[in-house]
Structure 1
Amino acid sequence: MTSHFADTPLVTLTDGVLTLPVSLEGKGNSLDSDAVDQAGSALRSLLAGDIDAGAVLLVGLGKNFCNGGNVPGFAAAEDRAEHVRELADRLHAVVRMLDEVTVPVVAAVSGWAAGAGASLAMAADFSIGGPDTRLLAAYPGIGLSPDGGMSWRLPRAVGQSVARAFILGNEPMDGARAYQLGLLTTFVEGDVRDAARALAVRLAAGPRESFAAAKALLRASEDATLSDHLDAERDSIARLAVSADGIEGVNAFVAKRSPEFGRG
């Protein structure tokens, strides 16, 4: 099933996967303001329960995932500071919601992911890259500092030294190296978009309550003590043990069959 939304024509829902483009073919695959706004609208609907999706897929509609902000637009703005601030606010609303959604988020990082594009790739639970993938901080090249959460996520993923070298050095990193260092979660030799789509479809058919609980625990772990977090894990697994998917998963394992989640 494919669903198109009247107010968000760039957004689609197919096989339980909510696909959100972040860049269009024109303007060098830069971050598209309309695409960002439509992504935000769709994510708000997902969080409100108005959209039934089991995974979110971030894609670029051109040959690249996203080449960062529309720099000529920065230059043309009458008030550059206010223009950039507004764009950052709109982007950050999307980044916050990507962190809040309870379903897995997958990014198809084909071609270049620079600046805000790299930040969005890092905002996903799964970032899929390949031989043609190139990551670039980009911000120092135009005299700016990171946005989109890059300076928060990257040190936590790869450590301060690698994060500083990537951002300050501002040199392209190929997909294989990015995967080796942890900037990408998955490296494929085939088509990145196909692989990301296949993963998103598989995840969309998975146990949503399990995914939601795992994401909540991972988020809470950043500020919790081990002792408190062990209590949270105990309470969570006990709650899921009597959920529809928990019952189905355990029963299917005992019966040596594949579980059919989402049927309860």
Structure 2
Amino acid sequence: MNHIQVVVEDGIGVLELSRPAVGNAIDLASARELSSAARSLVADPEVRVVLVEAAGDHFCVGGDVRAMAEEPPSWCSEVATTVHEAVLALHEADRVVVAAVQGAAAGAGFSLVLLADLVVATPATRFIPAWSRIGLTPDGGASWLLPRAVGSQRTAAMLIGGKVLEGTEALDWGLVTELVDNDPRPRARALAASVAQGGWRAAGATRRMARTAWDIGLPGRLVEEASAVGTARAGNGPLLEAWLPSRRHVATAGEATKPGTSLRAPFAGTVTVHVSVGDEVTAGSTLATVEAMKLDAPLTAPRDGTIDAVRVADGERAEGGEVVVVLR
């Protein structure tokens, strides 16, 4: 039925909710597709990071209420059980999960957001614990995930009191990591790409340990951390070696290079892209390539202009070639 779209590209496993006509509401068919998609992505060795996004104006309005009213109570349990297969797959994955959330994230859609490590939303995005409004209890793991994210009292305010959060308050509560003014999907995809191109195995191990922090005592976790850091060192040697002083590019004040010039990372300095008003620059233009980190620095907020020069100022460090866009 194609209620869920799955694409794997450049190490990013995209799971897209694709029932926009009904706000990506979850019925039994879409729950089954969601379960299959999530389990296949986290099992795919080509997937370095999982990106959850949705077509249309809303991320997910939760369960399909019309179908709930028409089907027997056992139908709700079957849908929840099937969705929970996806929840477990994403929660236990050794991959970072990124989510782009627009419009409404309600009910089970809200639960999906809680499974993400990096969440990009807008100030107008609404996080709605819809269960109590229709006399239901939470599903999708919300009663377990939400207290760990915001604490018991705030959980009660949402799950019992029905408190709805909009973007800014969700950011304050720690449910969102970043807000953008418009469509959150491009920014979420850029974050996913940065994870996929860096030390993604170490990042995945870190997210797994963080998500199970309440399930293990400190002595056991210290043993696990000691083992994990050795594994990460064995797998990410080039990234570590790139930070050695002998490999570091130290810029002089006012040093300039042409757009597209390769910069060896890490380097001391910030990168500023000077753009002349009146010429054309397209979104995603590569301004500088950081060779050792295998990262690109795209122009994320394009305006009319020509890339005049990339200037590296002496002083502050730019992690992995961060780009500061300056319009003039």
Query: Would the TM-score normalized by the shorter structure come out above 0.5?
Result: yes
Which residue number in structure 1 is paired with residue 121 of structure 2? Answer: 129
CA distance in 2: counterparts of 1:213 and 1:9, whole angstroms: 27
The runs of 5 or more residues in structure 2 that have no matched partner are: 249-263, 266-291, 295-328
Q: Which amino acid aligns with 1:28?
A: G
Structure 1 pair 237–25 and aligned structure 2 pair: CA distance change class (3 A)? same
Task: Tell me if the contact between 1:11 and 1:39 (Cα under 8 Å) persists in the aligned partners.
Answer: no
Cα drift, residue 17 of structure 1: 1.4
CA distance in 2: counterparts of 1:9 and 1:100, whole angstroms: 20
CA distance in 2: counterparts of 1:85 and 1:181, whole angstroms: 30
Cα drift, residue 189 of structure 1: 2.7
Aligned residues: 251
Task: Tell me if the contact between 1:21 and 1:39 (Cα under 8 Å) persists in the aligned partners.
Answer: no
Matches within 5 A, 1:184-195: 184-195=176-187
CA distance in 1: counterparts of 2:223 and 2:90, whole angstroms: 26
Q: Which amino acid aligns with 2:61?
A: N
1:183 aligns with 2:178: no
Q: Secondary structure at the match of 2:194?
A: helix
1:63 aligns with 2:53: no
The runs of 5 or more residues in structure 1 that have no matched partner are: 1-5
Q: Secondary structure at the match of 2:15?
A: strand
Q: In structure 2, which of residues 20, 26, 50 is the aligned counterpart of residue 31 of structure 1? A: 26
Task: Tell me if the contact between 1:23 and 1:59 (Cα under 8 Å) persists in the aligned partners.
Answer: no
Q: Secondary structure at the match of 1:29?
A: coil
Which residue number in structure 2 is paired with residue 114 of structure 1? Answer: 106
Matches within 5 A, 1:131-150: 131-150=123-142
CA distance in 1: counterparts of 2:163 and 2:154, whole angstroms: 12
Which residue number in structure 1 is paired with residue 35 of structure 2? Answer: 40
**Bigger Cα Rg:** 2
Cα drift, residue 100 of structure 1: 1.9
Q: Secondary structure at the match of 2:20?
A: coil
Structure with greater contact order relative to length (CA < 8 Å, sep ≥ 6): 1
1:154 aligns with 2:146: yes
Task: Tell me if the contact between 2:4 and 2:18 (Cα under 8 Å) persists in the aligned partners.
Answer: no
Task: Tell me if the contact between 2:11 and 2:48 (Cα under 8 Å) persists in the aligned partners.
Answer: yes
Which residue number in structure 2 is paired with residue 10 of structure 1? Answer: 5
Which residue number in structure 1 is paired with residue 258 of structure 2? Answer: none
Higher strand share: 2
Q: Secondary structure at the match of 2:51?
A: strand
Q: Secondary structure at the match of 1:241?
A: helix
Most deviating of 51-60 and 127-136: 51-60
1:252 aligns with 2:254: no
Most deviating of 109-118 and 215-224: 215-224
Q: Secondary structure at the match of 2:220?
A: helix
| Superposition misfits of 4+ residues, deviation over 6 angstroms | 6-9
Structure 1 pair 176–87 and aligned structure 2 pair: CA distance change class (3 A)? same
TM-score, scaled to structure 2: 0.71
Matches within 5 A, 1:80-95: 80=73, 82-95=74-87
Report percent identity of matched pairs: 35
TM-score, scaled to structure 1: 0.87
Cα drift, residue 110 of structure 1: 0.5
